[in-house]
Structure 1
Amino acid sequence: MTEHNVPNSPQELIYGCMGLGGSWSDEPHGTVHVDEAAAAVEAALAAGITLFDHADIYRRGKSEAVFGEVLAATPGLRERIRLQTKCGIRLGEPGLAGHYDLSRESILERVGASLQRLQTDYVDVLLLHRPDPLTGVAEVAAAVGQLLAEGKVRALGVSNMSGAQIQALQDRLEVPVVANQLEMSLLKRAWLESTVLVNHAESLDYSFPHGTLEYCAGNGITLQAYGALARGLYTGAGPDDPTAAEAATAELVGELAREHNTSGEAVLLGWLMKHPAGIAPVIGTVNPARIAACADAARVAQAMTRAQWYGLWVTARGSNLP
């Protein structure tokens, strides 16, 4: 297997660019959306973030396009950051609803279009967005190998894949898979519940493939957590009628934020980063103030006690551990 540097590491934050570019319609983006993207990038850099996460489908390509305009207008920025993008999901075509496509032709076409929109010659990491049941791993590996040889992609990762699926792909690759991006948060806890509910009836409530965390940790694959802030549920953006568990968790997050002299966002991200699997949270907000509020997460992860970590988990699940 070819030696390859892992382009991102545990205990770092990733800026998720899905919110950039305006609406999900086909309407073109405007100058205001480029300005919004520039402000978000500036806030992310100030928070110590250097890895920016994209996908070809985000805002129907507009997320990449506005980011590309920011790159073009900011000399030296590309050299200061790392970019990753994803391909493999098609939002819909005449006669065919949204579907997955990891065929060789599609991968090469979609990566080429992403590079054009991002106004860059390469991405540091390409993530395969979701598994495609109609494409064999040998075909995927061939496309990835070509992109690596051409210098358009420097490393490969996946998203929404199990350990078994990654292994099947890895067997055909000349380079290691470096990342697996999954939905992981204090709200979406299937990744965590699956590790303790073995031989317990409650395990049937969670579909997360058991062993995936262990596989990634054992093979040096960084776990990237999207949805890490639980969409603001515990930090002021929750519903008017939260469940008892949601209300109690929001209150506890606030208490811990005051105790650690930090923000609720940093508490939520620190809870993820405390886990020994080495989780790198993806921050999706476009609000510069909220991006700044995340900067303290690594410190909070170090300072958080076992009692505080378990307290958040048990409160969020609304029942004691078995």
Structure 2
Amino acid sequence: MKFVDLGHSGLKASNVALGVMRIDGLADDTAAQKVLETAVANGINFFDNADMYGKGACETRFGRALRQSNIKREDILIQTKVGILDHAYDFSKAHLVAAVDGSLQRLGVDYVDSLLLHRPDALIEPEAIAEVFNDLQNAGKVRQFGVSNMNPGQVELLQHSVQQKLIVNQLQFGIMHTGPIDAGIHVNMTDSRSVDHDGGIIEYSRLHDMTIQAWSPFQYGFFEGVFIDNPKFAELNAELQKLADKYQVTKNAIAVAWILRHPAHMQVILGSMNQTRIAQMAVGSDVELTHQEWYDVYLAAGNDLP
């Protein structure tokens, strides 16, 4: 397992992490414990939560499973995200303070290593957030801060006011979600892939030493399903299998390796609760695709080059 220094903050995280959005769907706390221990046994030391996952049930189960496990709190990094309500996004001071306290209680920990603002609040007041961040950090409740699903302008607006460096931006990215790089490849073109929906977020993140955390790396569309072994994507799966055979790993590992091959030094957030697949995916950290192999997968996914 390789590691990445998140946003040059000193947080040394495995570049393959485990997201626990589905942990509340497991049979019981013992099953969740086994998932966490499997992740750690395969080199994963970073776990991604959010207060809205299962309306808090995922954080609660994660916390119980962690306490029940043989994993020491100081040996792992825990991240959570706040700001999403049922029918609104809320970055107000009152909500953020209450949300973080609620997350810490459910997780059963005194602090989280990183806290992300989950989705952009149109009514954001950066000065108020700066005050909250200072209070949370001074109280020892949060070590580092970041964002999720924000474009460069939104990051700049927030960073202008907060004292802490924003270390990560969690974005949907993977073989079947390549918008942030399509526009860069199709510069000076007029086709659909030339449209930049994200404001050059990958280039911005590299320039500002922000680590991109790639969420839902095995999904196509917006939670429409997985592409691995999906007959809709026969050409892509054939290419993945060819590379899997070459490197003696699974297609899951190649899908992870494809993301990690990008020089932005991203971190891949897995979403599986299957112990076998977690082990297969984690191996992708140690597979380094060639320049041409990366493009071969990109093209097999249905993309083109100008």
Counterpart of 1:291? Answer: 278
Distance in 2, matches of 1:203 and 1:14, equals 32
Counterpart of 1:305? Answer: 290
3-state SS of the aligned residue for 2:167? strand
Counterpart of 2:241? Answer: 254
Q: Label 1:313 to 1:75 Cα distance change in 2 as closer, same or farther (>3 A).
A: closer
How many residue pairs were aligned?
296
1:205 to partner: Cα distance:
6.8
Q: Label 1:205 to 1:63 Cα distance change in 2 as closer, same or farther (>3 A).
A: farther
Distance in 2, matches of 1:288 and 1:139, equals 42
Counterpart of 1:5? Answer: 9
1:222 to partner: Cα distance:
0.6
User: 1:86 touches 1:126 (CA, 8 Å); kept in 2?
Assistant: yes
| Letter of the 2:208 counterpart | N
| Letter of the 1:308 counterpart | E
Which residue among 27, 50, 60 is the counterpart of 2:45? 50
2:174 corresponds to 1:185? yes
1:59 to partner: Cα distance:
1.0
Distance in 1, matches of 2:8 and 2:182, equals 32
User: 1:233 touches 1:250 (CA, 8 Å); kept in 2?
Assistant: no
2:9 corresponds to 1:20? no
1:33 to partner: Cα distance:
2.7
Distance in 2, matches of 1:167 and 1:224, equals 18
| Letter of the 2:64 counterpart | E
User: 1:184 touches 1:225 (CA, 8 Å); kept in 2?
Assistant: yes
| Letter of the 1:112 counterpart | D
| Letter of the 2:176 counterpart | L
Which residue among 287, 295, 299 is the counterpart of 1:314? 299
1:206 to partner: Cα distance:
4.6
3-state SS of the aligned residue for 1:89? coil
User: 1:102 touches 1:132 (CA, 8 Å); kept in 2?
Assistant: yes
TM-score normalised to the size of structure 2? 0.91
Counterpart of 1:201? Answer: 190
For structure 2, which runs of at least 5 residues remain unmatched after alignment?
A: 1-6
3-state SS of the aligned residue for 2:124? coil
1:75 to partner: Cα distance:
5.7
Query: 1:87-125: per-residue Cα shift (whole Å, max 9, x none)?
Result: 01002xxxxxx2100100000000100000000000000
Distance in 1, matches of 2:267 and 2:8, equals 19
2:56 corresponds to 1:84? no
2:205 corresponds to 1:216? yes
User: 2:147 touches 2:169 (CA, 8 Å); kept in 1?
Assistant: yes
3-state SS of the aligned residue for 1:317? coil
Question: Percent identity among equivalent residues?
Answer: 33
3-state SS of the aligned residue for 2:147? strand
Distance in 2, matches of 1:135 and 1:268, equals 35
